[in-house]
Amino acid sequence: MSDIFLGECLVMENREVAAGTFLLRLEAPAVARIARPGQFVMVRTGPSPAKGTSPLLKRPFSLHRIGSGGEIDLLYRVVGEGTSLLSQVRSLQGLEVMGPLGRGFEPPDPLPRAYLAAGGVGLAPLLALAETLAGSTETILFYGARSDDDLVSAPYLELFQCRVLLCTDDGSVGFHGPVTEPLAEVLEASPAPVFACGPRPMLARVAELAAGAGVAAQVSMEANMACGMGACLGCVVQTNEPAYTRVCLEGPVFRAEDIQW
Ligand SMILES: Cc1cc2nc3c(=O)[nH]c(=O)nc-3n(C[C@H](O)[C@H](O)[C@H](O)COP(=O)(O)OP(=O)(O)OC[C@H]3O[C@@H](n4cnc5c(N)ncnc54)[C@H](O)[C@@H]3O)c2cc1C
Ligand code: FES
């Protein structure tokens, strides 16, 4: 707990990378130094408390990229008041940040082959993971969204340094349907651990497919969070043992078989 940074970080960049999806780069050496893929930060999206209090609560965002130069990237989708304010933030402004928080992905070592499954902005935590796997693990990213416009661009996806299979709900690009359909086929032909982030129904299906293929799956879960550090119990999910578990402290990454879907 003592290593968790709380303070103001300088905004280095904040730009739209897909429709309604932004990339925020922060100078955060104290976070980047110790952060692991799958962990998250809480960000105060509004003005400093001296200038106003809305929205009062910080918002949780996965670490999209953990830079060796002390920067961290967040990939976020505008969905409400906090993320809308965040999208208006300019370079050289300061934002209050707390982190790194939670438990991240724990890929087995060695890991010859892995599948990453991302639904929409669920892509966020998987880049940091893909970067740690690059070079040692044959990785395929299954990345889906509603439509072509909602996907980050092909050149951006080169950062993952792996094979990418695109899926869209409307069939505007790639496979016409959810990422779990091609994932099911690949898992049957060549089973390997799965790491996933996205909407809950997608994660539930990933859990089912992984169990059927006899492989492990680790899923990054979402929940509304007030404190981000285990105190408010606002973020619990139903698990097998114990019955309720905090996403912010024991997660956000869980073994898929531990969740009560
Ligand atoms: C551990 C963790 C990591 C996350 N990482 C990312 C990330 O990398 N990128 C990203 O874009 N988002 C991420 N989220 C979700 C993000 O925190 C919410 O989208 C954000 O808090 C919304 O704030 P807001 O003020 O814009 O929306 P609000 O005004 O608070 O809410 C607007 C709408 O969004 C819904 N909403 C709010 N929070 C969530 C949530 N956590 N999950 C689902 N729906 C929600 C509300 O129910 C409401 O309908 C993460 C959440 C968690 C718990
Ligand atoms: S957000 Fe407060 S306990 Fe998890």
Could you read off the pLDDT of 196-248 as tens digits, one per residue?
999 999 999 999 999 999 999 999 999 999 999 999 999 999 999 999 999 99
Q: Is residue 106 part of a domain?
A: no
216 and 226 in a single domain? The answer is: no
Residue 172 lies in a domain: yes
Residue 48: per-residue pLDDT: 57
Mean pLDDT of 105-111: 96
If you average pLDDT over residues 97-115, what whole number do you get? 97
42 lines ligand 1 (CB under 6 A): no
CATH code at position 176: 3.40.50.80
Q: How confident is the model at residue 55 (pLDDT cuts 50, 70, 90)?
A: confident
The confidence score (pLDDT) of residue 186 equals: 98
Are residues 138 and 210 located together in one domain of the fold?
A: yes
Encoded tokens for 150 = 């909602």
* The pairing of beta strand 244-246 with beta strand 5-18: unpaired
126 lines ligand 2 (CB under 6 A): no
| pLDDT above 90: residue 255 | yes
Question: Tell me, what's the pLDDT at 63?
Answer: 98
pLDDT at 56: 76
Q: What is the pLDDT of residues 83-95, one digit of tens each?
A: 999 999 999 999 9
Q: Please indicate whether residue 3 or residue 25 has the higher confidence score (pLDDT).
A: 25
Query: Distance from the CA of 12 to the center of ligand 1, in angstroms?
Result: 22
CA 62 vs CA 41, 99, 127, 136: distances in Å: 6, 10, 10, 24
> What type of residue is 27?
E
Residues 55 and 22 in one domain: yes
Q: What is the pLDDT of residues 59-77, one digit of tens each?
A: 999 999 999 999 999 999 9
Task: Quick: pLDDT tens for 139-183.
Answer: 999 999 999 999 999 999 999 999 999 999 999 999 999 999 999
Which residues fall within 8 angstroms of residue 242, CB to CB, at 6 or more apart? none
Positive or negative torsion for Cα 159, 7, 96, 247: positive
Q: What is the pTM of this model?
A: 0.95
What is the distance in A from the centroid of ligand 2 to the CA of 120? 24
Q: β-strand 236-238 against 217-220: which pairing, if any?
A: unpaired
The residue segments making up the domain with residue 232 are: 222-261
User: What is the CATH number for 41?
Assistant: 2.40.30.10
Q: Are residues 117 and 216 in the same domain?
A: yes
Q: How far apart are CA 106 and CA 163, in angstroms?
A: 21
What pLDDT was estimated at residue 46?
A: 74
Supply 242's token pair. 């114990």
Give the per-residue pLDDT at 50: 53
Q: Is there a domain that residue 129 lies in?
A: yes
- 93 domain-assigned: yes
Q: Which two tokens stand for residue 69?
A: 């130069």
Strand order in the sheet with 40-43: 59-62, 40-43, 94-101, 5-18, 21-27, 71-77, 65-66
Residues near 92 by Cβ (< 8 Å), separated by ≥ 6?
Answer: 10, 11
Instruction: Provide the mean pLDDT of the chain.
Output: 95
Whether residue 123 has pLDDT greater than 70: yes
Residue 236 near ligand 2, beta carbon < 6 Å: no
pLDDT given at position 51: 57
- Looking at residue 47, its pLDDT comes to 62
CA gap 166, 123 in Å, rounded = 12
Structurally, the chain folds into a number of domains equal to: 3
Q: How far apart are CA 238 and CA 224, in angstroms?
A: 14
Kindly state if the Cβ of 124 falls inside 6 Å of ligand 1: yes
Instruction: Give the nearest ligand 1 atom to 102 CA.
Output: 1
Q: Is 65 in the pocket of ligand 2 (CB under 6 A)?
A: no
Predicted local distance difference test score (pLDDT) of residue 2? 64
